[in-house]
Chains A and B, each alone.
Chain A
Amino acid sequence: MRRRTVIAGLSWAAAGWPLAPRADEPALVVALWPFADGNAEGHALSAIFRTALRDRGQTTLRIEDRWGGADVERTGVLAAEIVQSGPQVIFAFLNAQLSALSALSRTIPMIFVGASDPVGSGYVASLQRPGGNITGFTLYEASLAGKWVAALKEAAPAIRRVTLLSNASTEVRRGNFYSEALRTAAAALGIEPAVCMVGSAGEIEPVVADLGQRGDAGLIVAPGTFSEANGDRIVALTAAHRVPTVFAIRRFAHRGGLMSYGPDPADAVRRAAAYVDRVLRGEKPATLPVQAPTKFDFIVNLNSARALGLEISSALLAQADEIVE
């Protein structure tokens, strides 16, 4: 048996030479991030992306990162550069980035993470069969707005109003992606909902200050490029103005926000890397279905709660997947 194994090994070794790359130079993958260069979260996700690809055997791959931040113009310029450089695959994190890229090329495969409504935005024909050059992983669903409202109500039962802080980047064709779910959930809980669109960092403070003055209002920070970029500012403002806030982006609960409920972007990036790998190996984005997350984490920051003078119920704590103390 032993010698057979050896001889078999020989034959497999002969047959098992790695496939020659299509061209002499390695394939190029460019990632467009909504973070500023030097952002820790951005670098962490980029590292996860690279690691995932390497784990799948893409060792000779050239991966480049483009750091567009929240700047729409800069993102547009970078997107043009990226498309011009002719990469094999483009990776886009969040809706605004994909939006900037998708208009520029209908041929270069694009894998996204975090486009809210790919069908509604026209990126894909259907989730099952995207049909074009774009596919990827969604992070949020509209119905999550109800979860955010419910969480706020449960954490601060006194609130009568809730404002969804959003940005144009999360807009879809039908209006705000979350507004309808927000309205339904708020109505069920007897809360007055509002959607506040902000265009720049400077517009945040008046909104938060206004909510603080009302005293019975909570804030929902919708996901998106703007929130990624201004999350820390919002955390500081809401703490200063004592506004109970729930974030869609989970990391801000760690950084001082009261709560967060949302998926783990790292998981989505890892799975997107798998799609990048498959596309590099010859599969078409058109046949790779768009996937949704299966797990959402509820994180409660007890320090912030104490600072806000909120008593978090044990029922709510029981729901939390993670408690920051």
Chain B
Amino acid sequence: MTNPGIDAVAPSRPVPAKRFRLPLSAKFAVAFVGLVSLVLLINGAVDLFLNYGDAKRTAIEVQREKAHAAAEQVESFISEIESQIGWTTRAEWRRVSPEQQRYDFIRLLRQAPAITEVAYIDPSGKEQLRVSRLEPDVVGSGKDLSKSPRFTGAIADKTWFGPVYFRRGSEPYMTVSVAHAGRDPGVTVAEVNLKLIWDVVSGIHIGTDGYAFVVTANGRLIAHPDLSLVLRDTDLSGLPEVAAALSARRSGATPDAADFEITTALEGGSVLAAHATIPRVDWIVFVQLPLREAMAPLYASVVQTLSLMGLGVLLATVAGTFLAHRMVVPIRQLEGGAERFGAGDLSERIVIRTGDEIETLADRFNLMASRVQDSYETLEAKVEERTRDLNNSLDDLQKAQSRLVQSEKLASLGQLTAGIAHEIKNPLNFVNNFASLSSELVDELQELVAPAPLDPKTRADVDEIADLLKSNLDKVVQHGRRADSIVKNMLLHSRTGSSEHRPVEINALVEESLNLAYHGARAAQPGFNVTLVRDFDPAAGVADLYPQEVTRVLLNLMSNGFYATEKRKAESGASDYEPTLAVATRDRGDYVEIRVRDNGTGIPDSVRAKIFDPFFTTKPAGEGTGLGLSLSHDILVKQHGGTVDVATEPGQFTEFTITLPRDGAKTVQPKSTP
């Protein structure tokens, strides 16, 4: 996963050498494997350390015991021979018959296979009897052996062990002589074939490949499982372990001080050797075991430890990789999901089913994404709504502004107009009054002239002039009155609330106005015809207003409608055109709505903006004052707090919609009339 912060600042710094980045899975696996390996390693090392000491101690102990056991067995072999000889050494034995002595010796030979030859030396040192397996028995040879060590040694020490010697060059022998009991004893001398120790030595098993061997005090081999070595008269004093043992003996050290050693065997290879001495014959028994075998438990332990370690590391690797994979795959999915979210794709969801924190995290991500998505959608809707509201407000504002501008314009115009009208009204009254007075005076003049006799011609001229004068004066009066009417209307602009306001039944008011307008129209124009459509809402009810003013507005609108239908009828000339004026009332709660709709010529767009301006009219000069709609606007908006709107389609229809608050006059009045 990239860190956006670092990425953002990276370009501004010198580009660093690309650092080796270990993936999370590798880190996890390395940590896992490393930890397990470390534990195994420590365990193995401790195990090995303890085992090594243990195995060595045990092996040495075992070897030492084996050496002593072997020495005991060899010694017991010698003791056995000694004791076998023993029953020929009774004090009275020399007195038994030579025949019996020979018989005893034969028995001795049979019972002690190691003895090849046995002889009896009488107390004087003369050989009296010799019995051999190989040679004829000799009785009373009388050979003088009194100076022989086998005789003197036995006499001195009771039992004498001679040096090892070889018969026929290969058979190892040792002379054992035992002095008889009693005073002045004889000696029994036995020649012992040491090959028979072979049976003893080969019977000593040291482990699987170990063995025991026996050397004399000067290092000559006298017993070895490999008999041929013995028969070859091998000198082993050069063998390290033997040399060490011999030198230790010579230096008089305690015999067991260094009774073991790791050394090289006769046949090569490292061995663990131990030895024990047989003091009676001055022999040394060695036992040796290949180091490999002696340390077998240690090696086994090493193998075991290493195997376990290897297995552990293998398992850890597998488990670590698996776990890392298990962990990283969802994280990658998370990463991918986060990337998608970051790119703005909020529609997809991260699907992780690991049942752990990562799944929870993914769920959180999903939740976040859905929240963001919701927020986006809500925001858009809200922006749309607000924009719409704002547009509406703007529209309203613009309308209000235009209305305000209109109103202000109209207000200033109205004041101006009222001022002008007031100033004009007085001279106009003079004109009107004196014109009608003059007209009457012309009538009086004619009456005065009538009795006077005049020639007919003159009379005709006088009458003609009088009539002409009278007609002129009538025209002055007529147009004076029109001017007067204009001035009155102008004065109405500046003079609001001219009458009292009161609650009025809307439907009745509209009906009355409609009738008035219709009949008025018919009176002015005899051929006039229009279809009237009434759509009164019974719930229109009552509104507080100035009835005369509102009636004037309605009359104005209706007569405009009649005019438009007439105009359209005249323009199109179509027979199928049916002029219609529809009037409707509607209850709008706090408001009441009145609609006046005609299917006349409609209002062109260019005209529409100006229809509420004072003095703006589309009628031919003399037919309209241009103050009707302006006045109506003032009445409805200013006097009653209502509205007037126009909807039109040129050549189709025009519809004025008036809304009046039910208590509009009440609330507006106090402000409008200071």
- Whether A143 contacts B135 in the complex (CB less than 8 A), given A127-B168, A129-B232, A291-B170, comes out as yes
A141 to B168, CA, bound (A): 11
Asked whether A321 lies within 8 Å of B110 as measured between CB atoms, the reply is yes
What is the chain A residue whose CB lies nearest that of B234? A128
Interface set, chain B 324-342, CB cutoff 8 A to A: none
Which of chain A's residues have a CB closer than 8 A to the CB of B195? 291, 294
Name the one of B136, B169, B193, B301 contacting A128, with C-beta atoms under 8 angstroms: B169
Asked whether B169 lies within 8 Å of A185 as measured between CB atoms, the reply is no
A85 to B109, CA, bound (A): 46
A190 to B632, CA, bound (A): 193
Cβ distance B615 to chain A, nearest Cβ, rounded Å: 123
Name the one of A4, A189, A290 contacting B304, with C-beta atoms under 8 angstroms: A4
Asked whether B193 lies within 8 Å of A8 as measured between CB atoms, the reply is no
B582 within 8 A of A: no
Asked whether B106 lies within 8 Å of A296 as measured between CB atoms, the reply is no
Asked whether A289 lies within 8 Å of B231 as measured between CB atoms, the reply is yes
Cβ distance A206 to chain B, nearest Cβ, rounded Å: 29
Cβ distance B243 to chain A, nearest Cβ, rounded Å: 23
Asked whether B170 lies within 8 Å of A8 as measured between CB atoms, the reply is no
Asked whether B106 lies within 8 Å of A318 as measured between CB atoms, the reply is yes
B134 within 8 A of A: yes
Cβ distance B327 to chain A, nearest Cβ, rounded Å: 34
A315 to B102, CA, bound (A): 9
Asked whether B113 lies within 8 Å of A294 as measured between CB atoms, the reply is yes
Which of chain B's residues have a CB closer than 8 A to the CB of A3? 304
Chain B window 486-498, contacts with chain A (Cβ cutoff 8 Å), 1 for yes, 0 for no: 0000000000000
- Whether A127 contacts B106 in the complex (CB less than 8 A), given A143-B135, A287-B232, A289-B232, comes out as no
Interface size class of A (residues with CB under 8 A): 35 or more
A174 within 8 A of B: no
- Whether A296 contacts B301 in the complex (CB less than 8 A), given A287-B232, A291-B170, comes out as no
Chain A window 301-325, contacts with chain B (Cβ cutoff 8 Å), 1 for yes, 0 for no: 0000000000000010011010000
Name the one of B103, B110, B116, B170 contacting A127, with C-beta atoms under 8 angstroms: B170
A122 to B170, CA, bound (A): 17
Chain A window 242-283, contacts with chain B (Cβ cutoff 8 Å), 1 for yes, 0 for no: 000000000000000000000000000000000000000000
B307 within 8 A of A: yes
Asked whether A5 lies within 8 Å of B300 as measured between CB atoms, the reply is yes
A126 to B168, CA, bound (A): 10
A296 to B132, CA, bound (A): 11
Chain B window 292-308, contacts with chain A (Cβ cutoff 8 Å), 1 for yes, 0 for no: 00001101110110010
A10 to B196, CA, bound (A): 38
A147 within 8 A of B: yes
Which of chain A's residues have a CB closer than 8 A to the CB of B72? none
Asked whether B232 lies within 8 Å of A7 as measured between CB atoms, the reply is no
Asked whether B170 lies within 8 Å of A294 as measured between CB atoms, the reply is no
Name the one of A127, A291, A296, A319 contacting B134, with C-beta atoms under 8 angstroms: A296
What is the chain A residue whose CB lies nearest that of B196? A294
A8 to B303, CA, bound (A): 8
Cβ distance A290 to chain B, nearest Cβ, rounded Å: 7
A84 within 8 A of B: no
Asked whether A185 lies within 8 Å of B227 as measured between CB atoms, the reply is no
Interface set, chain A 1-51, CB cutoff 8 A to B: 3-5, 7-8, 10-12
Which of chain A's residues have a CB closer than 8 A to the CB of B170? 126-128, 289-292
Asked whether B228 lies within 8 Å of A288 as measured between CB atoms, the reply is yes
Name the one of B110, B116, B300 contacting A4, with C-beta atoms under 8 angstroms: B300
A103 within 8 A of B: no
Between A10, A126, A128, the greatest number of chain B beta carbons within 10 A of the residue's beta carbon is seen for A128
Asked whether A4 lies within 8 Å of B301 as measured between CB atoms, the reply is yes
Interface size class of B (residues with CB under 8 A): 35 or more
Chain B window 165-183, contacts with chain A (Cβ cutoff 8 Å), 1 for yes, 0 for no: 0101111000000000000
Name the one of A188, A294, A295 contacting B136, with C-beta atoms under 8 angstroms: A188
Asked whether A7 lies within 8 Å of B233 as measured between CB atoms, the reply is no
A27 to B530, CA, bound (A): 147
What is the chain A residue whose CB lies nearest that of B304? A7
Chain B window 113-138, contacts with chain A (Cβ cutoff 8 Å), 1 for yes, 0 for no: 11010000000000000001111110
What is the chain B residue whose CB lies nearest that of A146? B136
Asked whether B300 lies within 8 Å of A8 as measured between CB atoms, the reply is yes
Asked whether B307 lies within 8 Å of A147 as measured between CB atoms, the reply is no
Asked whether B193 lies within 8 Å of A147 as measured between CB atoms, the reply is no
Name the one of B102, B136, B297 contacting A147, with C-beta atoms under 8 angstroms: B136
Asked whether B110 lies within 8 Å of A147 as measured between CB atoms, the reply is no
A10 to B302, CA, bound (A): 13
Which of chain B's residues have a CB closer than 8 A to the CB of A315? 99, 102-103
Interface set, chain B 129-149, CB cutoff 8 A to A: 132-137
Asked whether B135 lies within 8 Å of A7 as measured between CB atoms, the reply is no
Which of chain A's residues have a CB closer than 8 A to the CB of B228? 287-289, 291
B107 within 8 A of A: yes
What is the chain B residue whose CB lies nearest that of A261? B133
A237 within 8 A of B: no
Name the one of A4, A189, A290 contacting B297, with C-beta atoms under 8 angstroms: A4
A292 to B193, CA, bound (A): 11
Which of chain A's residues have a CB closer than 8 A to the CB of B231? 127-128, 289, 291
- Whether A185 contacts B171 in the complex (CB less than 8 A), given A129-B232, A287-B232, comes out as no
Chain B window 156-168, contacts with chain A (Cβ cutoff 8 Å), 1 for yes, 0 for no: 0000000000101
Cβ distance A261 to chain B, nearest Cβ, rounded Å: 9
Cβ distance A275 to chain B, nearest Cβ, rounded Å: 8
A321 to B297, CA, bound (A): 50
Which of chain A's residues have a CB closer than 8 A to the CB of B233? 128
Cβ distance B77 to chain A, nearest Cβ, rounded Å: 14
Which of chain B's residues have a CB closer than 8 A to the CB of A127? 168-170, 231
Which of chain A's residues have a CB closer than 8 A to the CB of B116? 294
What is the chain B residue whose CB lies nearest that of A15? B292
Asked whether B232 lies within 8 Å of A319 as measured between CB atoms, the reply is no
A108 within 8 A of B: no
A3 to B196, CA, bound (A): 42
What is the chain B residue whose CB lies nearest that of A126? B169
Cβ distance B542 to chain A, nearest Cβ, rounded Å: 111
Which of chain B's residues have a CB closer than 8 A to the CB of A318? 103, 106-107
A149 within 8 A of B: yes
A144 to B132, CA, bound (A): 10
Between B135, B166, B195, B196, the greatest number of chain A beta carbons within 10 A of the residue's beta carbon is seen for B135
Which of chain A's residues have a CB closer than 8 A to the CB of B102? 315
A197 within 8 A of B: no
Asked whether B193 lies within 8 Å of A146 as measured between CB atoms, the reply is no
A150 within 8 A of B: yes
- Whether A144 contacts B134 in the complex (CB less than 8 A), given A3-B304, A128-B169, A128-B231, comes out as yes
A4 to B47, CA, bound (A): 12
Cβ distance A283 to chain B, nearest Cβ, rounded Å: 8
What is the chain A residue whose CB lies nearest that of B195? A294
Which of chain A's residues have a CB closer than 8 A to the CB of B307? 7
Which of chain A's residues have a CB closer than 8 A to the CB of B107? 318
Chain B window 79-113, contacts with chain A (Cβ cutoff 8 Å), 1 for yes, 0 for no: 00000000000000000000100110011001001
A7 to B305, CA, bound (A): 10
Asked whether A185 lies within 8 Å of B110 as measured between CB atoms, the reply is no
Which of chain B's residues have a CB closer than 8 A to the CB of A10? 303
Interface set, chain A 126-172, CB cutoff 8 A to B: 126-129, 141, 143-144, 146-147, 149-150
Name the one of B135, B297, B299 contacting A146, with C-beta atoms under 8 angstroms: B135
What is the chain A residue whose CB lies nearest that of B109? A319
Cβ distance B48 to chain A, nearest Cβ, rounded Å: 13
Asked whether A150 lies within 8 Å of B299 as measured between CB atoms, the reply is no
Cβ distance A318 to chain B, nearest Cβ, rounded Å: 5
B residues whose Cβ falls under 8 Å from a Cβ of A: 99, 102-103, 106-107, 110, 113-114, 116, 132-137, 166, 168-171, 193, 195-196, 227-228, 231-233, 296-297, 299-301, 303-304, 307
Known: A292-B171, A315-B102. 13 other contacts (CB 8 A): A3-B304, A4-B297, A127-B170, A128-B166, A129-B232, A149-B136, A289-B231, A291-B170, A294-B196, A295-B113, A296-B133, A315-B99, A321-B110
Q: What are the 4 tightest A-B residue pairs by CB atom distance, in nearest-first order?
A: A8-B300, A289-B231, A146-B136, A150-B136
Can you give 5 contacting A-B residue pairs, CB < 8 Å? Answer: A143-B132, A143-B134, A296-B134, A315-B102, A318-B106
